[in-house]
Chain A
Amino acid sequence: MKSVKKMLELKNICFSVEESGKRKEILRDLSLKIDNGKFIVITGPNGSGKSTLARLIMGIEKPTSGQIFFEGEDVTALSITERAQKGISFAFQQPVRFKGIRVIDLLKLSAGKELGVGDACAYLSEVGLCARDYINREINSSLSGGELKRIEIATLLARKTKLSVFDEPEAGIDLWSFQNLIRIFEKMRSEIRDSSIVIISHQERILRIADEILLLSEGTIKKRGSVNDVLPELIGTTAAVDACDRLR
């Protein structure tokens, strides 16, 4: 039997910020392990610390205390760049815009090598964008939220890292793009090989794809289990909204 290796481990993570002279705890003594080959969705009410958790994994934020291990190695003190080079990638909740940098440039930087137009097109097609229309577009404000989101996902496809972290991929996109997004994640789920995916999301449709759901509340993991174990009690709360709730 193939031994399951640990992909990611967080040990006793605390994270607090100073807010109008007071210490505010965002994450409290949070510990979790994620195995190789898993598709994990982390959910929870607004302000529960989900995005902070994702940013801590990438190294964008540093924990107040606690340790982060990636493939058994303590990466707590490593920079964003070092973690990226070791095999962690991150999709922003609000993708960054650049003046002058084109889609093809960002895909090349993501792949870390010269990329043929054919390869670049394959990544774009994967996220439902017609490559011919987008490859030379600048990643600036002429792109819609949905387009930016899909390009952001394409950059992660081009990176092909061991661990991919998506921070609320559904935020800021229209319903039509959302349907496509679900298809992209379903495909990723079915193709997962020697890698893991962590998605921060409130969306019931995304939660349903998960191998495991982690419920984050008040800075700690309140519950963890399969879709059948965790989802029923979340339905109707802000931790699992259906797509149409977004329109209300």
Chain B
Amino acid sequence: MLNLDDIQKAMLEEVADISDVPQGAYNFRVNSKLAGRHTTDRIDISSKPDGSGIDIFIKPGTKGESVHIPVVVSASGIKETVYNDFYIGDDCDVVIVAGCGIHNCGEHDSQHDGIHRFYVGKNSKIKYVEKHYGEGDGNGKRILNPQTEVYMEDGSSMEMEMEQIKGVDSTERTTIAELKAGAKLVVKERLMTHGSQTAVSGYKVSLNGEGSTADVVSRSVARDTSSQTFNACIAGNAPCSGHTECDSIIMDSGKILAIPSLEANNVDAMLVHEAAIGKIAGDQLIKLMTLGLTEAQAEEQIIKGFLR
């Protein structure tokens, strides 16, 4: 195993479900330094010459392999911007697991801004999982501003699962995607804010090729005095189909602003958006209470299910 302390190990487990060295290729970044790297015959990882991040090269035809690139920030006061670029060849089928955990017990803010760019080759199939997590009882804020850019070639598909459930004080996430003919993008975002946290999540998906499709679904919960903004735009520039959905539970004095938008630039673009914000339905609480749960337990189960 890598030379990590207990806090760092726990953070790794939170963000990447890693309790041991993962199979396949990986790159661990801990407190702005490389903590471990492994490459395979088909997946190469190299540091950018200027030290601003890493490049990941996946050879055409790579199937059944995975890449883990988790980041842990456990020292207070770190502020970093990292560029990770994925060059994925044609006809691949791989799983990419990213994620960032911040443990801040200090007085200074810790901030990690990860910029991920994906160049997905023709007919390649990618599953991308990203988890963000924060903890620590210091006064320093835990800040994550991820930026994701996805460029998809003909017939490629990408499924993105992005989750931020706990402990991140401030986040501003931006995702842009450009799809060529027959490309397919599915995004599943899960977000929960509590305390006085703020989260902004914006998507701009451009369906540029004939037969391209996108489905962007966000579920979020805003508790305490936290606030969220969800801003998703799908642009149809060709015969294509797009759907975006924002479904939110608001609690306590939380605030949510949902701005789903559609932009049709082609007469054969079929675009749909949905948005719903509401508190937990009273009859849902009552049903679970009739099973013997307290109101607080019922609430917890409803949220757990909603953010599944």
Contacts and interface: CB of A to CB of B under 8 A. Distances in A.
Interface of A: 58, 60, 79-81, 84-85, 89-90, 92, 95-96, 98-102, 105-106, 109-110, 112, 155, 159
Q: Is the interface of B mostly helix, strand, loop or mixed?
A: helix
Nearest to B304: A100
B305 A100 contact: yes
6 contacts: A98-B302, A98-B306, A100-B306, A105-B301, A105-B305, A106-B291
B286 A80 contact: yes
B202 to A, nearest CB: 23
Contacts of B290: 58, 60, 80, 84, 89-90
Given A80-B286, A96-B281, A98-B284, A110 B291 contact: yes
Interface of B: 219, 247, 281, 283-284, 286-295, 301-302, 304-308
A96 B287 contact: yes
Given A60-B286, A92-B287, A109-B301, A99 B247 contact: yes
Given A95-B287, A105-B301, A109-B288, 15 more contacts: A58-B290, A60-B290, A81-B294, A84-B289, A96-B281, A96-B284, A98-B305, A99-B247, A100-B308, A101-B301, A101-B305, A102-B305, A109-B291, A109-B301, A159-B291
Interface pairs A-B: 5 shortest CB-CB: A100-B305, A101-B305, A84-B292, A96-B287, A80-B289
Contacts of A100: 219, 304-308
A109 B307 contact: no
Nearest to B281: A96
Contact of B295 (A60, A81, A85, A89): A81
A101 B300 CA distance: 12
B306 A99 contact: yes
A109 B289 CA distance: 10
A192 B207 CA distance: 61
B293 A109 contact: yes
Contacts of A79: 289
Nearest to B289: A80
Contacts of B293: 81, 84, 109
A100 B305 CA distance: 4
A89 B291 CA distance: 7
A175 B276 CA distance: 34
Contacts of B306: 98-100
A89 B247 CA distance: 31
A80 B283 CA distance: 12
Nearest to A55: B286
Contacts of B284: 96, 98
A99 B288 contact: no
Identify the interface centre among A80, A95, A96, A106: most chain B CB within 10 Å of its CB: A80
Nearest to A112: B292
A109 B292 CA distance: 8
Nearest to B307: A100
B285 to A, nearest CB: 9
Contacts of B304: 100
Contacts of A112: 291-292
Nearest to B290: A90
Contacts of B302: 98, 101
Contacts of A99: 219, 247, 305-306
